[in-house]
Structure formats: C-alpha cells, structure tokens
C-alpha cells in the first residue's frame, strides 16, 4: 500500500509500504540495536494494541521512569515488515522536548536518532540545530508516545497551531465526538483533525485531556479497546464527509455551458497516436465533438481554452490505488487521474466513500474496487477479509458481489488450496481475480487456478526463482529474491519463456507498479525519483518522511544489486509489451507516482504513446469501462485534462496539469493541488 516513510506521523498513520516486507529485519552493518537489547517494559506499563481488520499486528508499551523520563517500546509486524524500537524522551520546563532518543531497527535499517534542545537533532535522514523557542520539534521516527505529547501540546497552543521543527506548521481543530464501549465500560471521546503532518487531515482521539488513540488502516488503541476501531473510523469518516460538499462547490463547479479545447495536440488512445491541430467540445459531462480544428464548430457561449503548445489527454487510470480518505480525491484529480482501480481497502469505509463519490457529494475519481482476501496470521494484509476455510472463502466472494465489487484480490498468506474454488466462484459471479501469489507457489500455478491478472512485476519474475525463495514468498523473499536472481534471468529461456507464452495466450493482465520498487535502492536522505518533481511542494514532514531510504541491504543483496533488479523489472515490462500481454499502470502509492511509472516504461523501450495507453484505454477496457472512459471519443464521458507541454516527446510533461474535467465539473489543477496540501505545481 502507500509508501511508508518512517517519519513519526507517516509511521503512525501506518498506510503500509509496498516497497519492503519481510519477516526478519536484515542483519547488516546498518542494523540498529538488537531486539534483545531494547528496553523491557515494566509490569505496570500501559499498552496500546496495533490492529486492523485482518487482526493484530503489534503493540506499544508506555511507562514513566523514576527520573520522570517517558519510555515506550514498539513491536510491529505488518505484511512481513518488522519494526522493533524503543524511545525515551524528557520535557523542558516549557513542555517542549528536552531530549529524545530512539533505538532499534526498521525495514530500512537502523532506527537510531536523537534530539537535544541544546545540541540539535541527528536522524537517519538529516541533522540540524535545536528547534527555536515555541517550535514543536518532531523526530523522523519514533512511537505513538511522541504523537500523544505533540497533539496534547498542539491542543493548548494559541489558535490551535504551532510551527514544526525542522520545518512546517501543525494545526488542530475539533472534529467530532463518539461514545464507545468495550463491553465493560463506556467512554465519550473527542476526535481532533490534525494537519501539517501529512497530505490529509489526521483524526486523533482524546479521552478528556488525554490522548486515547487512532483508528485508520491500522488502529492504535489502548489494550482492551481494540473492538472500538470500526466505530471510531465510522464517526471520524462521517465528520470529514460533512466537510466535503463545501469543497466540492468551491473548487469543482459544474460546467453550465459547453467547454471547448481549441487547436490542441490530442492523444488518440484508441490508435496510440498523437494528433496535432485538433479541437474537442464537451457538454453536460460528455464529449460531443472531436476533430481537426477547422472542422469543429465551437458553440456560442462556450468556455474556450486555447491549446497552442498544450496537449489534451484522456483522464488517467491509476490501476493500483488503495484509496486513502476524502482528501485523496483532489490529490488524484490534480494529476489528471479520473479513475482508479482500488485493489483492497476497508470494506465498509471504502464502500461508503465510493457511494458518496458516485452520488456527487464527494470530489474524487470513479473507483473500480476489489475485495482483498487473505489468510489469518501475523503476515495478513491490513484491510483484508481473512478466511481460513472454503466456506469462509466462498462467503467472502459472495459478499464482494453483493457489495458491488468488481473483483477479488488474493494475498500471500491465503491457503493455496483455496485459490481454485475462490476463482471458480468469482468467475461464476462475474468477478475478476487478481493478486499476489501464495507462499510455496509459482505464478503459473495461480494462473492455472484462475487468476485473470498478476499484481506487481516482482510476482511475474518469481516464476524463475529458486524454491527457497518461493517457500518464503509471503515475506522477505518476494523482494530480495527477485533482486538477487532477476538481473540474470533470461526471459526467452525456461522457465520464463513458456510461462510468458501462457500469459500471452490467456491475455493475463499485469499490474507492474515499477515506480513503487524504484525507491528500494535509494540512500537515506534522498527523495526517490517519483517524488523529485514534487520537492518543495509537499508538506515538509511528508517530504522528510519520503527520504527514509530503501530496503536495507543484506549480505546476499547489496544496494547496487537492488538497482540492477529494477533494471530487470524494466526489461520485463518491455518483454510483456512485446509479447502482447496487457499492462495496466498503477502506483500503490499516493497517485503522484503514476507519471514516473510511465517514464520507466519509456525507459524500458515503450513509445510514449504505448506507455500512456497503459494508463488510459487499456485499463478502461480491462475493467469494463471502455465504452465510458479511456479515450477522447464522441459519446464518452468528458474525463480529460489539459497539460502544458508535449508528452509525445517528454512523457513527464503529463505532470504539468492545468485544467481537469470530470463528471461535468471543470477544475483548475492549482485549486486541486492546494486542497490536497501541495504548495505549487511539480517541476
């Protein structure tokens, strides 16, 4: 799912990284303090449990030492990610942080960092002087206890706002209240919306004046209150939903007259071609005319955009977008993304959000959703419906159909014996089947059992891995294995050649998400390529979090070897394309990575026109929406955007969005970016 930057806020929001997942933290020179050497919580320590709809993922213990310092100890195992850290901080007389020390390991390596109000800070990604007086310093990593104190401090700040260190500004406002029960007692809690740490308001729950917890993809709640997570999520989502119509009216008004784009370069997705000197007219949310500029009559009273030096593009598809929250919509639309395939989300929350978008009360792309199904256990995916037997598995598939899902996505800890009956039932009900490959199996077996699509390029390459990699593929090895062995794989030799031929024969779709993996070899402190065009426009804490670095190297897989593995992924994209295997571009991130994915396809050898097809006509056709979206064709929805530049020569120009049309609404990209928390256009 979304990239986890191990900055405090991003880690606590816990929308998990797609780029690293393993059962054991790599033991390298960069590894942090060993787990056995971390602080041991006393018997009376307070505990917070980390859970999701898939079950427990870890815990955090909090206690105060005899000298008044506040300690915490966190253990987290998430889809194979293992984080083991402890934290100690002391407070200055004014309530700010006097010292902070964090120790242990994350999947990126050593978690060690420190802060002193006298000497400054040193983290895995940066270092600098102490925070000025009146500034709330936030560490890069850490546990929920940092968040607890930070929000307690922010609640007391004049106007509910404070400057953040090293940079940025935090805000807080009351959001809603909810009464919950754990079966023994009840509490009435208050939720606050905290801004400045992420691209979305962050709901945080308080019990009176004390921090209580958080409920999102992961819930961080006190021991014994885990069952309250769904009620808290429902309450905070409903409160945020009440704010959505005002934003919709302010930045996304319905077009009351025809809209014309005159004399533009136009991307013809159906022909994979660029056509100069074209005009297009849209009215009432539909395309009503497309043709050479001299042949298209622009209606009187139309809103007209001059297309000189600009390109008109069908609305993009992000085919791997785990839709985050209400604020996700403006961010995606600002990139020209008007449709997404959501391959797994909280079932109830996601369904309710999708219904509001379709009803026109929430601004966001249309979504083609899949229900995520996994087996129970410590490596289960957050947001998944977990099943353990055939009856439960078939019931989950039928529930997906009943709730209007387009497909089911199967995950790595699912019992392999359940794949075939799940696929048969899904196909009987008209649902698509895709996903990761289950531990001990190769992708060819999943295809034989009924997969219509394989998720992530690494799973395609897994066909050529040694059995030792396959046996541990729901953890570390699904990443390190392809990086270790992929660069030397010959795709035209066995076992890859016959497998790829079978994918081509069956027209099995591949969802590569190459840009997601590209960050795996990034050194700490450096922005991955997907985010560099947005440097300086992201909230500072988000920018900092994205600099957390890639996977920690192992004795067998160096950082240089990981980079070679990305090269193998690009070679595979070209091989898929050459064999006629359908490719659908997706990010598994924030959406701002989509154009980088297309750039990587061009680097692999695809033309810009063929690359762009993977984010327009191909997914529209694959997901049953080809009659409505995917190309600039008369009669289709006017889902489109105007860019400044020429993506036929520089596919990266797709980032330079000026105007977006979607659902009959005409939107300025600058307004969408501002609503999403970006301070300006990408470079």
Instruction: Kindly report the CATH class assigned to 316-675.
Output: alpha beta
pTM to 2 decimals? 0.93
Say what the pLDDT of residue 79 is: 78
How much of the chain exceeds pLDDT 90, in percent?
A: 87
- Return the minimum-mean-pLDDT range out of 11-15, 374-378, 419-423, 579-583: 11-15
The rounded distance, in Å, linking the Cα atoms of 198 and 334 is: 17
Query: Quick one: average pLDDT of 18-42?
Result: 62
Say what the pLDDT of residue 22 is: 29
Q: What angle do CA 40, 42, 47 make, to 5 degrees?
A: 95
The rounded distance, in Å, linking the Cα atoms of 631 and 629 is: 6
Say what the pLDDT of residue 300 is: 96
Q: According to CATH, where is 3.20.20.140 located in the chain?
A: 316-675
Under DSSP, the state recorded for 71 is: E
Continuous segment of H or E residues that includes residue 657? strand 657-662
Q: Does the pLDDT value for residue 71 go beyond 90?
A: yes
Say what the pLDDT of residue 29 is: 37
Q: Does the pLDDT value for residue 474 go beyond 90?
A: no
Who's near 300: CB < 8 A, 6+ residues apart?
Answer: none
| CB burial readout 282-308, b (16+ within 10 A) else e | bbeeebbbbbebeebebeeebeebebe
Q: Does the pLDDT value for residue 21 go beyond 50?
A: no
Say what the pLDDT of residue 31 is: 66
Q: Mean pLDDT, the chain, as a whole number?
A: 93
Please say whether the beta carbons of 171 and 202 come within 8 A: no
**pLDDT digits 0-9 by tens, 108-145:** 889 999 999 999 999 999 999 999 999 999 999 999 99
**pLDDT digits 0-9 by tens, 45-66:** 999 999 988 889 999 999 999 9
Say what the pLDDT of residue 81 is: 77
Please say whether the beta carbons of 9 and 138 come within 8 A: yes
Band (552; pLDDT cuts 50, 70, 90): confident
**pLDDT digits 0-9 by tens, 171-211:** 999 999 999 999 999 999 999 999 998 888 999 999 999 99
Say what the pLDDT of residue 24 is: 32
Under DSSP, the state recorded for 485 is: H
Say what the pLDDT of residue 107 is: 85
Query: Quick one: average pLDDT of 227-250?
Result: 93
Residue 650 neighbours by CB distance under 10 Å: 14
The rounded distance, in Å, linking the Cα atoms of 382 and 544 is: 25
Query: Quick one: average pLDDT of 5-24?
Result: 35
**pLDDT digits 0-9 by tens, 381-417:** 888 999 999 999 999 999 999 999 999 999 999 999 9
Query: Quick one: average pLDDT of 216-221?
Result: 91
In sequence order, what E strands does 575-646 have? 640-644
Q: Is the Cα dihedral 413, 416, 421, 423 positive or negative? A: positive
Q: Does the pLDDT value for residue 3 go beyond 70?
A: no
Say what the pLDDT of residue 80 is: 77
Residue 132 neighbours by CB distance under 10 Å: 9
Query: Quick one: average pLDDT of 234-255?
Result: 93
In sequence order, what E strands does 447-548 have? 453-455, 509-511
Q: Does the pLDDT value for residue 345 go beyond 60?
A: yes
Would strands 657-662 and 640-644 be described as parallel, antiparallel, or unpaired?
antiparallel
Q: Does the pLDDT value for residue 473 go beyond 50?
A: yes
Say what the pLDDT of residue 45 is: 97
**pLDDT digits 0-9 by tens, 75-118:** 998 877 789 999 999 999 888 899 999 999 998 889 999 999 99
Q: Which two tokens stand for residue 461?
A: 């390459």
Query: Quick one: average pLDDT of 6-19?
Result: 37
Please say whether the beta carbons of 577 and 606 come within 8 A: yes
Instruction: Phi first, then psi: give them for residue 12, nearest 5 degrees.
Output: -75, -35
Query: Quick one: average pLDDT of 423-429?
Result: 98
Angle of the 419-428 helix axis to the 390-402 helix axis, nearest 10: 30
Band (674; pLDDT cuts 50, 70, 90): very high
């Amino acid at each position: 799912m979304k990239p986890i930057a191990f900055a405090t806020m991003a880690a606590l929001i816990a929308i998990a990284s797609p780029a690293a997942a393993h059962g054991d933290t790599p033991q390298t020179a960069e590894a942090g303090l060993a787990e056995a050497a971390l602080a041991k919580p006393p018997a009376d320590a307070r505990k917070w449990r980390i859970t999701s709809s898939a079950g427990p993922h870890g815990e955090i213990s909090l206690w105060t030492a005899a000298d008044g310092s506040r300690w915490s100890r966190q253990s987290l195992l998430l889809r194979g990610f293992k984080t083991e850290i402890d934290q100690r901080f002391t407070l200055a007389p004014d309530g700010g942080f006097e010292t902070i020390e964090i120790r242990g390991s994350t999947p990126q390596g050593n978690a060690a960092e420190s802060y002193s109000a006298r000497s400054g800070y040193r983290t895995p990604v940066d270092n600098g002087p102490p925070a000025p007086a009146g500034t709330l310093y936030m560490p890069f990593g850490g546990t929920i206890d940092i968040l607890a104190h930070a929000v307690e401090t922010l609640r007391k700040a004049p106007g509910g706002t404070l400057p953040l260190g090293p940079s940025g500004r935090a805000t807080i406002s009351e959001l809603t209240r909810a009464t919950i029960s754990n079966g023994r007692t009840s509490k009435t809690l208050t939720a606050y919306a905290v801004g400045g740490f992420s691209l979305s308001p962050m709901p945080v729950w308080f019990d009176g004046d004390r921090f209580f917890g958080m409920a999102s993809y992961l819930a961080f709640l006190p021991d014994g209150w885990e069952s309250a997570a769904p009620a808290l999520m429902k309450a905070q989502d409903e409160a945020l939903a009440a704010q959505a119509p005002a934003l919709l009216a302010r930045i996304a008004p319905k077009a009351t007259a025809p809209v014309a784009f005159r004399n533009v370069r136009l991307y013809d997705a159906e022909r994979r071609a660029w056509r100069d000197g074209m005009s297009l007219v849209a009215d009432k949310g539909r395309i009503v005319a497309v043709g050479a500029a001299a042949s298209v009559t622009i209606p009187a009273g139309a809103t007209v955009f001059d297309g000189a030096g600009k390109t008109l593009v069908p609305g993009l598809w992000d085919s791997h977008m785990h839709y985050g929250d209400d604020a996700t919509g403006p961010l995606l639309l600002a990139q020209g993304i008007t449709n997404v395939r959501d391959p797994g989300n909280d079932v109830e929350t996601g369904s309710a959000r999708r219904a509001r978008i379709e009803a026109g009360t929430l601004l966001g792309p249309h979504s083609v959703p899949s229900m995520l199904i996994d087996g129970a256990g410590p490596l289960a995916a957050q947001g998944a419906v977990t099943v353990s037997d055939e009856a439960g598995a078939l019931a989950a598939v039928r529930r997906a159909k009943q709730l209007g899902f387009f497909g089911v996505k199967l995950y790595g800890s699912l019992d392999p014996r359940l794949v075939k009956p799940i696929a048969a039932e899904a196909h009987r009900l008209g649902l698509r089947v895709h996903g990761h490959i289950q531990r001990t199996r190769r992708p060819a077996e999943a295809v034989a059992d009924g997969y219509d699509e394989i998720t992530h390029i690494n799973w395609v390459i897994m066909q050529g891995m040694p059995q030792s990699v396959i046996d541990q593929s729901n953890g570390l090895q699904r990443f390190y294995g392809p990086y270790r062995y992929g660069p030397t794989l010959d795709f035209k030799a066995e076992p890859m050649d016959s497998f790829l031929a079978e994918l081509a024969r069956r027209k099995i779709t591949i969802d590569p998400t190459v840009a997601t993996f590209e960050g795996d070899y990034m050194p700490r402190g450096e922005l991955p390529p997907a985010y560099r065009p947005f440097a300086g426009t992201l909230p500072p804490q988000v920018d900092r979090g994205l600099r957390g670095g890639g996977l920690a190297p192992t004795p067998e897989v160096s950082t240089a070897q990981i980079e070679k593995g990305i090269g193998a992924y690009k070679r595979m994209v070209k091989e898929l394309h050459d064999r006629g295997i359908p490719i659908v571009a997706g990010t598994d991130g924030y959406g701002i990575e989509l154009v980088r994915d297309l750039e990587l396809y061009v680097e692999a050898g695809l033309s810009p026109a063929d690359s762009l097809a993977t984010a327009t006509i191909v997914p529209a056709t694959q997901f049953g929406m080809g009659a409505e979206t995917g190309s600039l064709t008369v009669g289709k929805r006017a889902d489109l955007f105007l860019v400044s530049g020429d993506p036929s020569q520089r596919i990266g120009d797709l980032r330079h969005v000026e105007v977006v049309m979607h659902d009959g609404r005409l939107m300025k990209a600058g307004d969408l970016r501002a609503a999403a928390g970006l301070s300006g256009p990408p470079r």
